[in-house]
Amino acid sequence: MLKKEQNDLVTQTGPGTPMGNLFRRYWLPLLLSEQLPTADGEPVRVEILSEKLLAFRDTSGRLGVIDEFCAHRGVSLWFGRNEANGIRCPYHGWKFDYSGQCVDVPSEADESGFKDRIKLKGYPLIERGGVIWVYMGPAEHTPPLPEWEFATVPAEQSYMSKRFQDCNWLQALEGGIDSSHVSFLHVSSLLHDPLFNSAGGNKYNQNDLKPVFEVVEASGGLFVGARRNAEDDQYYWRITPWIVPTFTMVPPRGDHPVHGHFWVPIDDQRCWAWSYDYHPTRALTKSEVLAMKEGNGVHVVVDKHYVPLQNKQNDYLMDRDAQRANLYYSGIKGIGTQDASLQESMGPIQDRTKENLVSTDNGIIMARQRLMKVAKALEANPHLELPGISAQDQKVRSVAVLLKRGQAYKDAAKEHLKAEAGKPHSSV
């Protein structure tokens, strides 16, 4: 369990907080490219890390994300006109470019220089892998561009979705590195979900409900290994990378695409769950992409605001008859929704002072410790070399593999955990 002050440290990400300062030192997923498809298109309201912003693509195609509210009298610029390389406030005509710089105040003479002294907060954006990424930290510490494998393979090999999740980012992340719940919450879905079924490794999840966890430090975060008994003096290992602060990758099943998540805070009580699927050596098939759009695998069907159709307000469309019949272990359809329903049930921010952890929670325990350690170290040294920034840290893979008993997975699976172009992922 955590003390209250420790729980506050790891869950609070607003401006000026230690964890908020840590998040702001990374490129974070902000929008899907589909949300800003055209120049001079509709701007999009964005909330991230307790900041309210407005994103738009200007006449020249440049991406901008700036303070949502006009510097004049606080009108939301979402109502503004996106035209001629800027957003013009409809109230009094003040205009701001993609960087937040005021470029026109119609009531003031140009020679006064007044507009030059007005600038809204703005952050740099880049577009990669169908995602628009934002960097919100000090300019002098801007990290290299994201090198996650899903974002660098050809577009036809990757798929990304996002959904609103009504809870703090950390309890969602902790679900992502907890392999033990798969044998319960998702056990029925392994048989039915077209992006999971027919994999040879599924039987080990079903036959061994007591995985043994071994967690090892990685330069970018952790490798969370869960082993289950297999035949012929072997263990079935599922190895989940967690990269600071919020990247996870689920171990693969058969030749299905590999998938994983980012959980990006909206504020301290809500987050965006970003879910990717990709295959390192082939294009995704039409049936795979259709299955993802229909809410299979780690994806969820959402409305136009990216709010899941199965949500807290309708009890996630729980079906008690399906629960009793073991069609879905919890009575809720869809792996992503199964996770979200239970993570949201903990409340907006889980009270970790009341929990009772066991050995299968070692990955969660070590991730919390690493987050607190790095956040505090960054406070002490703003020039700290952070984990998860380098291409080496980001070019990582999850692994499902059979290893002889007595082999340490950190050594035996070392090469399998590295992402290399054209190299198939290691799976069972």
- 115-139: pLDDT as tens digits: 999 999 999 999 999 999 999 999 9
* Fold matches, 28-134 and 149-417: no
Q: Which residue has the higher pLDDT, 181 or 104?
A: 104
Q: For residue 217, what are its two tokens?
A: 């430090």
- Domain 149-417: state its class: alpha beta
- 166-180: pLDDT as tens digits: 999 999 999 999 878
Report the pLDDT value the prediction gives residue 268, as an integer from 0 to 100.
98
Report the pLDDT value the prediction gives residue 364, as an integer from 0 to 100.
95
Report the pLDDT value the prediction gives residue 188, as an integer from 0 to 100.
85
Find the radius of gyration of the CA atoms of the chain. Answer: 23
- Whether 191 shows a pLDDT value over 90: the answer reads no
Q: What is the 3-state secondary structure (H, E, C) of 47-71?
A: EECCEEEEEEECCCCCEEEEECECC
Residue entry with tokens 């950190």: 410
Report the pLDDT value the prediction gives residue 190, as an integer from 0 to 100.
81
The answer to which of 15-24, 207-216, 221-230, 418-427 has the lowest mean pLDDT is 207-216
Rounded mean pLDDT, 4-25: 98
Distances (CA, A) of 405 to 270, 312, 401: 42, 44, 12
What are 237's strand-pairing partners?
A: 227, 401
Q: For residue 420, what are its two tokens?
A: 């290399």
CB 238 within 8 A of CB 201: yes
Domain boundaries, the chain: 28-134, 149-417
- 28-134 maps to which CATH number? 2.102.10.10
- 89-110: pLDDT as tens digits: 999 999 999 999 999 999 999 9
Rounded mean pLDDT, 381-387: 97
